[in-house]
Amino acid sequence: MTTAELLPISIAPVPPLSAAEQKLRTAQDLFIRRWGEMGQTWGINRTMAEIHAFLYVTGKPQSTDDVMERLNISRGNASMSLRALCNWGIIERQHKRGERREYFVSLSDVWEMFSIIAAERKRREMDPVLETIKQCHRMLEEGSLGKSAARREDVALTRQRLAGMEEFMSVTNKIFQQFIGNAKSGLTRVVKVLLKAF
Amino acid sequence: MTTAELLPISIAPVPPLSAAEQKLRTAQDLFIRRWGEMGQTWGINRTMAEIHAFLYVTGKPQSTDDVMERLNISRGNASMSLRALCNWGIIERQHKRGERREYFVSLSDVWEMFSIIAAERKRREMDPVLETIKQCHRMLEEGSLGKSAARREDVALTRQRLAGMEEFMSVTNKIFQQFIGNAKSGLTRVVKVLLKAF
DNA sequence: CTATAATTTCAGTAACCACTGAAAAAGGAA
DNA sequence: TTCCTTTTTCAGTGGTTACTGAAATTATAG
Question: What does the pLDDT look like over B118-139, one tens digit per residue?
Answer: 999 999 999 999 999 999 999 9
Report which of B150, B189, B136 is spatially closest to residue A19, judged by C-alpha positions: B150
pLDDT score recorded for residue B52? 98
Check B24 against A154: CB less than 8 A apart: yes
Report which of A64, A47, A52 is spatially closest to residue A28, judged by C-alpha positions: A52
| Mean per-residue pLDDT, A16-38 | 93
Residue A71: nearest nucleotide (C-alpha to C1')? C19
Chain A residue numbers touching B60 (CB-CB < 8 A): 154, 157
Chain A residue numbers touching B127 (CB-CB < 8 A): none
pLDDT score recorded for residue A184? 60
Q: Is the pLDDT of residue A145 over 80?
A: yes
pLDDT higher at A34 or A195 = A34
pLDDT score recorded for residue A179? 79
* CA–CA gap between residue A16 and residue B187 (Å, rounded): 52
Q: List strand residue ranges (DSSP E) for chain B, in order.
A: 62-63, 91-95, 102-106
Is A55:A91 a contact under the CB 8 Å cutoff?
yes
pLDDT more than 90, % of chain A? 63
- Chain B residue whose CA is closest to A150: B20
Which helix (H) or strand (E) segment is A106 a member of? strand A102-106
pLDDT score recorded for residue A127? 95
| A41 CB less than 7 Å from any atom of strand C | no
Residue in A149, A167, A172 closest to B20 by CB: A149
Q: Is the pLDDT of residue B102 over 50?
A: yes
Check B110 against A167: CB less than 8 A apart: yes
Check A193 against B188: CB less than 8 A apart: no
Check B24 against A155: CB less than 8 A apart: yes
pTM of the model: 0.87
Mean pLDDT of chain A: 88
Q: Is the pLDDT of residue B176 over 80?
A: yes
| Mean per-residue pLDDT, B77-103 | 94
